[in-house]
Structure 1
Amino acid sequence: MGETNLTQPDNTASPYSPQTNSMSSLFLKPCAVINMTDMETLFQESPLFINEENGGCVIRNQWDTRSIWYSVFSGEQSLPAMQWHTRHLIAGWIEDDYQLIVDEIISNKANQSLIDLQEARLVVYEQLEYRWERFFTVGNSAYWILNSRAFKGILDVVEEDIYLQIGFSGFLAAQVQTEIENLAKSIIVQLPEKFFVEFDFPEEVGELNLVENLLEVPQILEVTKTSQEIFFGDLCGNEMTTIRAQIDNFEMIDNVYLVYRLVSANETNDNWKTVFMNQLTPSTWEISLSAETSFLSYQLVNGAQVEYSIAIIYNVNNVQRSSSYSDILLLQCRQ
């Protein structure tokens, strides 16, 4: 299913389909219970894009630097959903020890209820360098599971036979925890007594989304800069640097952005600035950063680092991002 721009919400749509399964449960449309206004307040930006993935709903900003996702299952789907999520916590890891831990947890007869499995699998999060804490104001059993260094977190909730997860990426936990807790309560209140999510728990994570020909996705081949230093102060020279990106498979590119912030001992700004890059040729894009104009919302501190990455918007609403760089310094000139 393709992404939908949240700037034009459909407030009249029901989150439930009249179609029923053999148990007479309503089919739940995961993304339909999301309130666009609440999301824009949480992200503090627009437009946002919403997409159904792996039986849940993902909301992203247009540069794919921050996201909120959630999934909810009930009844006979809840335990298979939690088992599926547990298996795929270690997707992409090659350590056999992780697989052994997960297999033992899922096969253990003592972990065949939602609350028992929820508690047993906390050790997997610990192995992946998350920390966890109990949360008592929503559900019968709930945990906050956080990885502050990776700017990621999950609120994991069991409410009777309902299993709900809400996760975030790219936010500081303190910025979003209260809003996510409120979102969890709002989702639970909206759920019908019985519902069914149209998802078959495939063996491979995201196999429903592999619809793109990867050979056609724009690829950033090289990122260069004219200088590793930007000087500031009276009568300075070299007050700017130009960042240039060389891109392959450029036919579907709509726009290219530079996403950056300034980090120093005095200040770490949680909000990134975003500017359009200029197209020189179909495959080459560049932007200049100036001490006089590019960092007006930051403190100009000697030795501050410019952290930046490049985001390509292609095929209308898809995003391809570069790695993050921090190889440009802001220096005060000496007269």
Structure 2
Amino acid sequence: MIIVHAKGNSQLGIGNLSRSYELIKYLSITKDVIGIFECDENIFRRYDINNIYRVNNLNEALELVTKYKSFIYISDLVSPKKELSSFLKENGAKQILHFNGINSGFEPDILFVTDGFDYEFFDNRFKIYRGFEYYIVGNEVIKNRKKKLKHIKSIKNILICFGGADPAFFTEYFAKNINDFKYNYKIVLGPAMPKNRKENILTIKKNNIEYIDSPKNMIELLLNSDLLITLGGMTTYEAMCLGVPASAVRWNYLEYIVKSFGEKNMITDLGNIDEAYENLLNLNLDNVNKVCKNAYNIIDGSALKNIEKVINSINGESL
């Protein structure tokens, strides 16, 4: 048995649920897998698979976990504690795998560090698999990946998406400050954005802005866009895999990621919010194409297979 546990009630955790959802779907083809999602009902409705259970908190999650005598546990939690890993070991976990950081004392057996940025990472307590080849994008993204990447000849249609909630409030900034006739803009209002906030944004009307509320198909939106503007999260990786040029605005929580992507020539770094719009209006098309091709080659859609290989290598894989 494999248990995948993710939490997405916080503004910054929705991507974890989506990543875990894709992993559960993929592993379920050949393995006995359940998912445990800590999230509210509204978010949970997005995940239509019958072997994922919704819980309200960690205690409810652990009640489910203890029903199984022997299992591989995969965590996609933000800042789990050492007490959790100790509990899991005492209650049937043969191996603990974890995505994200371990700065709160959590002790997995295997850690996935899903980027190839330049910072050093050493820890002798567990085995580390590191690199962009472990960053999960969904099967639907992979199915729609361009077989051959072609240079774009011009930029006209721009997709703005700052995640499920946009904790940076950059959506409002762009909606208010856009005053050009150079581009057509589609602005995504994410599913975790409060209703009153969406209503306020929708009062900002401009001829070249279209608002998309909680889109069901981001892939189609991305493929019909010449450029994505984001914070550097999950949608950025999806664009890279699809072969759609990605750019990002620096925001405190994800600023390092945006800067690092820029240094790796994987996105167009638009800088801080007060300079991002001007930088957008002065994009260099050759550079946009160059970074798009580089990112496309790096985010190649192999992560699910690579993670499955790691799971298969664990003793007791038949659990």
* TM-score normalised over the length of structure 1: 0.23
Flag the structure with higher strand content.
Answer: 1
Instruction: Name the structure where helix makes up a greater proportion of residues.
Output: 2
* Pair member with larger Rg: 1
Q: TM-score, normalised by structure 2?
A: 0.23
